[in-house]
Amino acid sequence: MLLFRLPQNWGRGGDLTPFYTGSNGTPIKIEVECHDSLGRSYTTHLTALAYNKALVLGNNTFGDNAQTSVYGVSAAAALSNHVVVSSLQDDKTAILNELPQYTVFYIDTHGSVGIFDDCFATGDPEHDIDHTIGIVEASIALKPKSTIFPPYNLVFFDACVVMGDKYNNPDQPDSNAMSSAFSISGNDRAAIGFDWYTYSWASNADWTKRLWDNLAQGVPLRQAASLSSVGGTEKGEVRFGFFTSLNPVIQGDSNMTLHGVYGGTVTWQLMTDGFKADIPWYRPL
Taking the CA atoms of residue 132, residue 143, residue 225 and residue 221 in that order, the dihedral angle to the nearest 10 degrees is 180
172 in any annotated domain = yes
67 in any annotated domain = yes
For residue 117, give its domain range: 55-252
- Res. 283 pLDDT band, cuts 50 70 90: very low
pLDDT tens readout for residues 138-197: 999 999 887 888 889 999 999 999 998 887 888 888 999 999 999 998 888 999 999 988
Q: What pLDDT score does 121 carry?
A: 96
pLDDT tens readout for residues 49-98: 778 899 999 999 999 999 999 999 999 999 988 999 999 999 999 999 99
14 in any annotated domain = no
Q: For the chain, how many structural domains are there in total?
A: 1
129 in any annotated domain = yes
Alpha carbons 266 and 9: distance in angstroms, whole number: 16
277 in any annotated domain = no
CATH of the domain at 176: 3.40.50.1460
235 in any annotated domain = yes
Alpha carbons 220 and 223: distance in angstroms, whole number: 6
271 in any annotated domain = no
pLDDT tens readout for residues 112-126: 999 999 999 998 877
User: Residue 238: beta bridge partners?
Assistant: 243
19 in any annotated domain = no
